[in-house]
Amino acid sequence: MNGHFFVDSNYAYHTITNAEFSGVLDRYKVEGYIITGENPETRENYFSYICDYHLFIKYEDKVYMDVHGVGDIVISFDELQKNKYWKHYYDLSLMLTNHKNLVVEDIEHDDHYSVCKHKIYKEERVWSIATAFIDGSFTEKSKKVLENEYNCYYKINPYDLENMEYSSQQDLNNFIYIYMSRYEVRSNLFDTKSVYYNTFVVDYRTSLIEEEIDNISAIIEDKKDAINLGALFERHNMNSV
């Protein structure tokens, strides 16, 4: 892999030009209360998050995929494209991830992100990407995409993918068997959910494009003002002569 990096106090930022990193994180907020004393009326409100994720690394024809509650696997890009569920999440991941060649390595303990990681992943992970994520805390039609956070963490060192073998047919079959037991698949919820999620993510990308156009327009207007001001000064100097 062709990579270079720079380091600050807590992180190493790796830019790998011939690899692509992306992910979809779907987060649900769960609220409730606990009884804190003998009196049932003594309650304390609390909330926590339930997260689902599909993480991808593409290197040449290889795709590494890590799915919450299923596991991880290395397959060909064609294999990924043949599966409608994986292709859906992969396409979403490309729209949600703005810097697809950037992966960040934690090199020092960080309390904030350690808390986030421990709520999502079973094992310690140190390689992350910045992705916008889908907030599923609301009703089906009012879910929304929130701004980038470094909460999509890979189980592997991304540099290892270059020398990893494709998963065996048996491993692939086992992965598919477990994947098909996911609730959204076996309940037939996926088809409805995928339409909503495509809409949320396309709206998010559209808003980014509109914001970029507004910024470019502002720069152009500033340059026009600078040119007009320069011409005004030039005429003033000529008249003074």
10-residue mean pLDDT series, the chain (241 residues): 82 93 83 62 68 94 96 97 96 90 84 64 88 66 57 92 96 97 89 84 76 59 55 56 52
Residue 46's pLDDT is: 64
Residue 90's pLDDT is: 97
For Cα atoms 24, 135, 148, give the angle at the middle one, nearest 5 degrees.
Answer: 60
- Contact between 63 and 74 under an 8 Å Cβ cutoff? The reply is yes
- Contact between 28 and 49 under an 8 Å Cβ cutoff? The reply is yes
Residue 10's pLDDT is: 82
Residues ≥6 apart with Cβ < 8 Å to 99: 129, 130
Q: How far is CA 211 from the centre of its chain?
A: 20
Q: Name residue 134's beta-bridge partners.
A: 26, 145
Q: Which residue bears the tokens 């993918």?
A: 161
Residue 140's pLDDT is: 47
- Contact between 74 and 64 under an 8 Å Cβ cutoff? The reply is yes
Outline where the chain has alpha helix (H).
Answer: 77-82, 84-96, 111-120, 169-179, 183-186, 190-240
Residue 28's pLDDT is: 72
Interatomic CA distance for residues 227 and 40, integer angstroms: 72
